[in-house]
A and B are shown apart, each in its own frame.
Chain A
Amino acid sequence: MNDRFPIDLKVNGQRYQVDVPVYRTLLDFLRDDLGLTGTKECCVVGECGACTVIVDGRTVNSCLMLAVEADGGEVLTVEGLAAGGRPGPLQRAFLEHGSAQCGFCIPGQLMSAHGLLLENPHPAAAEVHEALAGNLCRCAGYEQITEAVLAAAEEVGG
């Protein structure tokens, strides 16, 4: 037992083998150690969803997970949705539908939406609401966010 722990994981397809302090959250590891600041820190109690990332195919609040718990896993952050630095279909749909106002919640909204579409390529509006219920938007742009997710599903799923 030690206060540092070696982890070996993939983030957005890139492999990292590092020693992390065991009390570092996945959120802090992504932002402070890897510089992936697209993932946002906000409520830090798992209520707002701003820190949502995908670990091994499932959306999680990265503020409620220790970095050591992601050892051996694959993490996808909002940066990973933009292949080659170009916005992916979901991101483009958010832009086209005016889903982002202040923008702070958007990375989390995108990750929850991406997680939903991985499992359910053709969601109904009610399923989008349920999948994104853990992502708060204080600008209250929920309608535009739902429209964007449904449009992206249409575009990608055909």
Chain B
Amino acid sequence: MQAFAYARPESIPEALALLAEHGSGAHLLAGGTDLVIALRNGSLRPTVVIDLKRVTGLSPAIRREDGRLCLGATTVMRDVERDAEVLRHFPALAEAASWVGSVQIRNRATVVGNICNASPAADTAPPLLVYGAVVLAVGPDGERRIPINDFFVRSRQTTLPAGSLVTGIELPLPAGRMGSAYTRLTRRRGTDLASVTMCAGVDGAGVTRLAYGSVGPRPVLVCDESGVLADPAAPDEVKAPILEEMLAGASPSPRSMRAGPEYRLAMLRVLGRRALQTAIDRLAKGMA
């Protein structure tokens, strides 16, 4: 493997000082399940790797705070998929985390790393978009709260300012009743990237949110406030054009190995209906 320096800061100011000192030569390390691959194949050539796992204040714990649930910068997928509060309030996030890689990968991979790498196929992105998550960042100019829909730009590019790091993700607890579901299309169960990701959320006021990915440069969030999609009694011919308009943001690449654009677009519609129906059923049953 290529040579690089390694730093293990113990505090956030120390980590920020290292980022300031090394600029674009610095790369942050949390779980490493993407980074170590890139270090080995040479697609990233950092001068210093800054390991965040010993930083005080970036603990892996999932914390319940006033009206919200907070994931830390080092919270791993495996803990998210099994956390009682996540399962209760944000089941689609638990589902998404449980789809990532394998148990071995999920024991290391972090949710924050997943969104910072900003892969269009990132499993946790659609549920975080549907739940209105906020990315907490800290940088030379202090702390910043970035709504997750303003965070993604394209693969490997986010709006996180240079010299900053993400300290956690906040999920506001739903104010009223909500039903939500995540599903994805893959070639096989286990250790595969998504060909289409889809999350649906329906609330008691009739608002439907859909977020989908792996069909364009970044995951997309769309919202229907008419109440039609959320209405279990609305006929399909009324729902279909609304759904069609909501899925119009998809523009899959013809160059991807995993699935052709026509197949992705066809399956996006299937997954959209499926996730929506599960979300409606869960709302009716009183599960988040």
Known contacts A23-B39, A46-B33, A47-B191: A59-B1 contact under CB 8 Å? no
B102: which of A49, A58, A63 is its contact (CB, 8 Å)?
A: A49
Q: Which residues of A contact B27 (CB under 8 A)?
A: none
Interface residue? A82 (CB, 8 A): no
**Docked complex Cα distance between A60 and B6 (Å):** 21
Segment of B47-55, B86-94, B213-221, B244-252 engaged in the interface with chain A:
B47-55
Interface residue? A14 (CB, 8 A): no
Min CB gap B235→A, angstroms: 37
Known contacts A25-B36, A60-B108, A64-B33: A112-B3 contact under CB 8 Å? no
Q: Which residues of B contact A22 (CB under 8 A)?
A: 4-6, 49
Min CB gap B172→A, angstroms: 30
Residues A1-59 near B (CB distance < 8 A): 1-3, 5, 21-25, 44-47, 49, 52, 58-59
Q: Would you call A131 and B36 a contact (CB within 8 A)?
A: no
Interface residue? A151 (CB, 8 A): no
Q: Which residues of B contact A143 (CB under 8 A)?
A: none
Min CB gap B240→A, angstroms: 36
Q: Which residues of B contact A60 (CB under 8 A)?
A: 104, 107-108
Chain B 97-130, CB-CB to A under 8 Å as 1, else 0, gives: 0000111110110000000000000000000000
**Docked complex Cα distance between A79 and B32 (Å):** 25
Known contacts A23-B39, A44-B40: A2-B5 contact under CB 8 Å? yes
How many residues of B sit at the interface, in one of the four size bands?
20 to 34
Q: Which residues of A contact B191 (CB under 8 A)?
A: 46-47, 133-134, 136
Interface residue? B205 (CB, 8 A): no
Chain A interface residue count, CB cutoff 8 Å, equals 34
Interface residue? B239 (CB, 8 A): no
**Docked complex Cα distance between A79 and B283 (Å):** 50
Segment of A65-73, A87-95, A99-107 engaged in the interface with chain B:
A65-73
Specify the chain A residue showing the minimal Cβ separation from B5: A1
Specify the chain B residue showing the minimal Cβ separation from A53: B104
**Docked complex Cα distance between A52 and B104 (Å):** 7
Q: Would you call B36 and A24 a contact (CB within 8 A)?
A: no
Min CB gap B55→A, angstroms: 14
Known contacts A25-B36, A66-B32, A133-B191: A3-B103 contact under CB 8 Å? no
Known contacts A46-B104, A133-B102: A64-B6 contact under CB 8 Å? no
Interface residue? B78 (CB, 8 A): yes
Interface residue? A146 (CB, 8 A): no
Known contacts A1-B48, A46-B37, A47-B191: A68-B6 contact under CB 8 Å? yes
Q: Which residues of A contact B145 (CB under 8 A)?
A: none
Specify the chain A residue showing the minimal Cβ separation from B105: A46
Interface residue? A77 (CB, 8 A): no
Chain B 187-205, CB-CB to A under 8 Å as 1, else 0, gives: 0011100000000000000
Q: Which residues of B contact A49 (CB under 8 A)?
A: 102, 104
> Which positions in B face A, CB cutoff 8 Å?
1-8, 29, 32-33, 36-37, 39-40, 48-49, 51, 53, 78, 101-105, 107-108, 189-191
Jot down 17 A-B pairs with beta carbons below 8 A, ordered by A.
A1-B5, A1-B6, A23-B6, A25-B1, A46-B104, A59-B104, A59-B107, A63-B36, A64-B36, A64-B105, A65-B32, A66-B32, A68-B6, A69-B29, A69-B53, A116-B103, A133-B190
